[in-house]
Structure 1
Amino acid sequence: IKQAATMIQEAVSSILKLHSYLQSRTDARVKDYPLMQSPVQMTTILLAYVFSSVYVGPRLMANRKPFHLHTAMIIYNLSMVLLNAYIVYEFMMSGWATTYTWRCDLIDTSSSPQTLRMIRASWLFYFSKYIELLDTVFFVLRKKQSQITFLHVFHHSFMPWTWWWGITLTPAGGMGSFHAMVNATVHVIMYFYYGLSAAGPRFQKYLWWKKYMTGIQLLQFIVVSIHISQYYFMEKCDYQVPLWIHLIWMYGVFFFILFSNFWVQAYIKGKRLPTADNKPKLNGSTIEHITVVANGKHLENGNAHHYSNGKIFLGKVKEI
């Protein structure tokens, strides 16, 4: 017992030392922003998100009818379009369209107005990842549990967790912030699609480009990987935290491989998606197919009907 108590005491002491170290290393320019004071806050929120999405939410909805949240989803998705467009604009005006070279752009350690603007843009991108957790809330309330995949939950929890470390230590990240601007750009397109999809049957004719959402995501990973790969071929680039470069490169390549495989299986071999021809009817409503995009989300036709225990086989809903 005494040995176990000693081990626990040492573990707690190590955690407290790490916490003190992180507080001392937290960039003074970002300390006063919400959710930036400690990793405990954001880790608690994200763990609660995972637990609620996978366990609590589905059980609370098990014996309840799904909510119809079309109006809320339209407002949410269009709001996310505007938010991400604003984030892209701020990234561009605080460096990427003004002073950055798009090559070896170092971490800015100054407190100039433009640098502080970049820090605000970076924090806003980080905070938007918490707002995006509502994607999963809508799935739970609408009993779309089959869409809450491992990849979906992993993406929504891992992104804000890693970005906390990024803007805690390097809030004006130079070339390390490029992937955030690209991601926000893709989300403008993605949430615009979601908004149209949620708006109902009269907008279905405008959703012909559903298939290409995965292609847009793949293009995102290609652009990010090419940009960050410059670091490995430059004669000299004194980027202050090379670890961020390596992590961004691995992230881009990993998801490119993952969703290239999805593209091949779904659109070339046709193994993953039902055909869109001769769509059957269910209570007068057309059953559309579901498309998975590269951030683990599913693009769902706003007029489709699914059941919590149903799967789609060759365009038909089969109860199991």
Structure 2
Amino acid sequence: MTSLIPQSLMDRLELVKSEVVLVEEVDNWFLMNSWIPVVSIVVAYLFFVLYWGPRWMADKKPYQIKNILIVYNLVQTLYNAYIVAYLFIPGVPTYLWNHSCVPLPIEVHPHWFAFCEACHLYYLSKIIDLLDTVFFVMKKKQSQITFLHVYHHAMMVLTSWGLLRFFKGEQAIFVGSLNSLVHVVMYSYYFLAAFGPEVQKYLWWKKYITKFQLIQFGLMCLHQVCLIMFECQMPVVLTYYITFQALVMVVLFGNFYYQTYVKKNK
């Protein structure tokens, strides 16, 4: 029976079969198979930082976690740098340049699996980022637990999971790599600041981190708009979603910058 099927069609069927196997493998990675674990993590996070945590700390002194913060911020710096390093795998820059608008099909994509690995590492980094707010609670710094902070952290966990689960591909590589680069700079600052006032007095570049974040969101918007203008073969739903979230972040971070650095100086 199979002899009646043209060889070209047989080859195509084998490619489709291998594509399905690859997609299923990615979908079965850690915390990827179902929406229940990731939603549970976000719900537990919101419950702790907005309700139970502040009440638990109400009659306690702030925890002295200087050494924990030093290690945590160093790990975050190195982890995000490792994600950025995926951009420099041999052949990846050339591929992204040549196929930034019309990507190759998965079955002949030379770097598809590496992109998925980078996205998975990025997704896990967003879960680790939730510890930022947990540490604020433990240090009784409720003023830093703002709507911007909580919304950004919770949204990034859900978005990065949904992106890898349903929109595997290079569309998120620019966004994720740029965000990880920002986090390298940000957590480097936090790492140094955790040593205390004797080091903090030399850290004059704090406000430039927020500027860097604003530039990041502007570049994200520009990237997605270019995908639309050039009618690139990317999921248009994801394009509009990323654009919308980037604009929301521009508004929220812009307001934070104004309130913290411009208005306060006036």
Match of 1:143 in 2: 140
Change (3 A) 1:81 1:107: farther
| Whole-angstrom distance in 2 between the partners of 1:126 and 1:108 | 23
2:49 to 16, 38, 53: 53
Indicate the SS of the match to 1:211.
helix
1:218–1:256 Cα contact (<8 Å) kept: yes
- After superposition, the Cα gap between the structure-2 partners of 1:141 and 1:107, relative to the gap in structure 1 and judged at 3 Å, is farther
* 1:84-123 equivalences in 2 (<5 Å): 84-93=80-89, 97-101=93-97, 103-106=100-103, 109-110=106-107, 114-123=111-120
Counterpart code for 2:80 = N
> SS at 1:237's partner residue?
coil
C-alpha displacement of 1:147:
1.1
Post-superposition offset of 1:231: 1.6
Write the distance in 1 (CA, Å) between the matches of 2:106 and 2:220: 23
Q: In the TM superposition, what is the alpha-carbon distance from 1:108 to its structure 2 partner?
A: 5.0
Contact residue 222 and residue 256 of structure 1 kept, 8 A? yes
Q: Please state how far the C-alpha of 1:95 moved relative to its aligned partner.
A: 6.6
Indicate if the aligned counterparts of 1:74 and 1:199 stay in contact, CA closer than 8 A: yes
Tell me the secondary structure at the aligned position of residue 30 of structure 1. Answer: helix
Tell me how far apart the structure 1 counterparts of residues 216 and 186 of structure 2 sit (CA, whole Å).
12
TM-fit CA distance, 1:107: 7.2
> Residue type of the partner of 1:220?
Q
Which residue of the other structure, out of 234, 252, 259, is the alignment partner of 1:258?
252
Q: Residues 81 and 188 of structure 1 are in contact (CA less than 8 Å); yes or no, is this contact kept in structure 2?
A: yes
Q: Counterpart in 1 of 2:190?
A: 194
The offset of 1:263, in angstroms, is 3.1
Question: What is the RMSD computed on CA atoms of the aligned residues?
Answer: 2.2
Cα distance in 2 between the residues matched to 1:245 and 1:176: 10
TM-score, normalising length from structure 1? 0.71
Number of the residue aligned with 2:4 = none
Q: 1:164 Cα shift?
A: 1.2
Query: Using the alignment, how far apart are the partners of 1:149 and 1:217 within structure 2?
Result: 17
In the alignment, does 2:233 pair up with 1:238? yes
- Larger CA deviation: 151-160 vs 254-263: 254-263
CA distance in 1, matches of 2:105, 2:91: 10
SS of the residue 2:205 aligns to: coil
Measure how far apart 1:36 and its partner are.
Answer: 0.7
The amino acid across from 1:192 in the alignment is S
Maintained 8 Å contact 2:115/2:170:
no
CA apart distance, 1:166: 0.8
Alignment TM-score, normalising by the size of structure 2: 0.85
Count of matched residue pairs: 245
Q: 1:30 aligns with which of 20, 26, 29?
A: 26
Residues 132-163 of structure 1: CA deviation (Å, up to 9, x unaligned): 11101111111111211122111111111122
Does the Cα contact within 8 Å between 2:148 and 2:253 map onto a contact in 1?
A: no
Code of the residue aligned with 1:144 in structure 2: it is K
Shift of 1:32: 2.2
Gaps of 5+ in 2: 1-19
Report if the CA contact (8 A) 1:81-1:187 is conserved: yes
| Structure 1 residue 103: Cα displacement | 3.8
Cα offset for 1:31? 2.0
Does the CA contact (< 8 Å) of 1:108 and 1:174 recur in 2? no
**Which deviates more, 81-90 or 210-219?**
210-219
Q: Percent identity?
A: 40
Contact 1:176 1:244 in 2 (8 A): no
Deviations 1:166-194 (A, max 9, x none): 101123x2123311110000000000000
Q: Which residue of 1 aligns with 2:128?
A: 131
CA contact (8 A) 1:129 1:160 kept: yes
Of the structure 1 ranges 197-206 and 96-105, higher mean CA displacement relative to structure 2 is found in 96-105
- 1:56-99 alpha-carbon deviations (Å, 9 max, x no partner): 11111111111111111011001100000000111442775231
